[in-house]
Amino acid sequence: MDAFRTLFQRDPTVAAEAPGRVNLIGEHTDYNGGFVLPTVIPQRCRVLLAPRTDKLVRAASGNMDAAFLLYRLGEERPRCSWLDYVQGVTSVLRANAHHLCGFDVRVESNVPLGSGLSSSAALDVALLRALREAFRLSLNDLELALLGQQVENRFVGAQVGVMDPMAASLGEPGMALFIDTRTLGYEHVPLPPGADLVVINSGIAHQHSAGDYNTRRAECERACALLGVRQLRDLTVADLPRLATLPTPLDRRARHVVTENSRVGEAVEAIRTGDLNRLGALFYASHESQRDDYAVSIPEIDLLVELSRQTGRAYGARLTGGGFGGSIVALTHAGTAREVAERIATSYEQQTGQQPTILVPQVGA
């Protein structure tokens, strides 16, 4: 509040926030029409905002710039900075016939950038929530999530799927969000009480719009064209022999997506029945598929997963997020999350020299 007042010489009239997310399982399936299973994390993006009567937007970040940045509605243009997410939000709102005036806004987030935990989706959704309230926009939570995806796809240039904004907009603490990304149907599934979650950031950032993520999406689309299907969602594990006829690496890319979709369904059933050993095995299998078939892991992430296994207290662990850096999620025995996380982080730092960050459980939790 004080920082907003100092910057803009007035008080905000709207406050909104949205959480980051960790994807339990179902990686790179959302833009293939498949299934995903994220859950929200404690870290959040918070927005303070006050409407203006003109077309000027003044935006500040508590994480980036000391002063505010400026642009006018209708004059949005990519600048390759955090402001692109703010510009993207106003651009897609106007493109979808939602009326806005200018506004002053200050953003602050403790969702680590490049961590694979959807810091950008948290920003998109938090700002959309603030604008929805400030300008009385007629948007439900699912529509808001779809606009958040448009920000990434149409303005920022990252061809991400719908999972991240849906998790930020519809997720609830203590619940996994089982999403069918083709139909946009979703269901809240209570997390198993017999296990804890650990999320560790490797300290190596990724950037979706840098190219590797978009390359994987293009490879999936090429595989679909060769197989004569609309999306890889149209295939099941019974079709694996067909996938083997694709040229390399399209065969491996498609195999990951098809088997990962199957693993999501198995994971939901394992959660419902309390079969934590099975759930953990699915985590490990998912990581191996991302590493070997989808080629989105890196040695440091592989090490974090292996260190999780070596603790003897983890049911399973895997790369979470788009890959090429970022974070792991591990499922540990109940009551051991802090101990396991600290053991993994200490060993990882000793072996790599990288500074990891334990994000879940939070310090003091």
Digit-coded pLDDT (tens) for 105-134? 999 999 877 767 789 999 999 999 999 999
Domain definitions of the chain by residue range? 2-188, 192-360
Please report which confidence band the pLDDT of residue 272 belongs to, taking 50, 70 and 90 as the band edges: very high
**Fold adopted by 192-360:** Alpha-Beta Plaits (3.30.70)
Q: pLDDT digits over 203-233, tens only?
A: 998 754 456 888 999 999 999 999 999 999 9
How far, in Å, are 32, 176, 177, 264 from residue 268 at the CA level?
A: 19, 9, 10, 6
What does the pLDDT average to over 164-171? 97
pTM of the model: 0.92
Tell me, what's the pLDDT at 319?
Answer: 97
Q: Which among 164, 196, 251, 293 is annotated as catalytic?
A: 164
**Mean of pLDDT over the chain:** 94
What does the pLDDT average to over 147-166? 92
Tell me, what's the pLDDT at 211?
Answer: 67
What does the pLDDT average to over 82-106? 97
Please report which confidence band the pLDDT of residue 363 belongs to, taking 50, 70 and 90 as the band edges: low
For 2-188, CATH number? Answer: 3.30.230.10
What does the pLDDT average to over 42-60? 97
Percent of the chain with pLDDT over 90: 88
pLDDT surpasses 60 at 323: yes
pLDDT surpasses 90 at 184: yes
Tell me, what's the pLDDT at 1?
Answer: 80
Look at 207 and 191; give whichever has higher pLDDT. 191
Tell me, what's the pLDDT at 258?
Answer: 98
CB atoms within 10 A of CB 309: 15
Tell me, what's the pLDDT at 360?
Answer: 95
Tell me, what's the pLDDT at 364?
Answer: 57
Tell me, what's the pLDDT at 209?
Answer: 45
Tell me, what's the pLDDT at 117?
Answer: 79
Q: Is 164 a catalytic residue?
A: yes
Least confident of 154-163, 218-227, 329-338: 154-163
Q: pLDDT digits over 237-267, tens only?
A: 999 999 999 999 999 999 999 999 999 999 9
